[in-house]
């Protein structure tokens, strides 16, 4: 089983080859190639690479499938006895990235 853990926009995601991962907005256009720069951990069939802080022997790339706005989140502030109520809506910008195969740049021991 192959997978990698990468840091994208300050959050960590598990990346499986051939799967689609939803992340916070990435400043690239749909259809463009995306390179995962900060790879923290890689699990190949029988080996495990842990970066300190990042794994440099592995290249992992993907393709940006779509950019869109997520579902609306309602945030409410309330203070009792003073009639203070605030309702705010928020829709996050999201990006779907299809993960390609995990490739070794250097020989893995």
For 4-13, the pLDDT digits (tens) are 999 999 999 9
CA 1 from centre of chain = 20
Q: Which of 66, 49, 35 is closest to 3 using CA atoms? A: 49
In a domain, 35, yes or no: yes
Over residues 19-24, the mean pLDDT reads 96
In the chain, % of residues over pLDDT 90: 78
- Domain membership of residue 24 as a residue range: 3-67+96-104
Over residues 8-24, the mean pLDDT reads 95
In a domain, 37, yes or no: yes
In a domain, 74, yes or no: no
> Does residue 81 or residue 101 have the better pLDDT?
81
In a domain, 90, yes or no: no
Per the structure, the count of domains in the chain is 1
pLDDT at 23 over 90: yes
In a domain, 89, yes or no: no
In the chain, % of residues over pLDDT 70: 97
In degrees, rounded to 5, the angle at the alpha carbon of residue 99 between the alpha carbons of residues 96 and 42 is 125
| Residues in CB range of 12: below 8 A, 6 or more apart | 5, 6, 40
């Amino acid at each position: 089983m192959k997978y990698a853990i990468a840091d994208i926009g300050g959050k960590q995601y598990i990346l499986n080859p051939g799967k689609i991962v939803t992340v916070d907005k990435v400043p690239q256009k749909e259809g463009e190639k995306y390179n995962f720069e900060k790879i923290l951990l890689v699990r190949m069939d029988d080996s495990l690479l842990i970066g300190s802080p990042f794994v440099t022997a592995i290249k992992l790339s993907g393709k940006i499938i779509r950019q869109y706005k997520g579902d609306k989140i309602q945030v409410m502030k309330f203070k009792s006895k003073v009639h203070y109520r605030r309702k705010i809506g928020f829709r996050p910008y999201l990006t779907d990235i299809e993960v390609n195969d995990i490739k070794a740049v250097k020989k893995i021991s």
